[in-house]
Amino acid sequence: MAAGDIETFQRDGIWFNRIEGEARTLGTSFTSKAEAVKVGRGAAAARQVQHTVRTEEGPSEDANVYDRHPRELMGE
**pLDDT tens column, 23-55:** 899 989 999 999 999 999 999 999 999 999 987
Instruction: Kindly tell me if the per-residue pLDDT of 71 is higher than 50.
Output: yes
Report the C-alpha dihedral over residues 26, 32, 41, 59, rounded to 10 degrees.
70
pTM higher than 0.85 = no
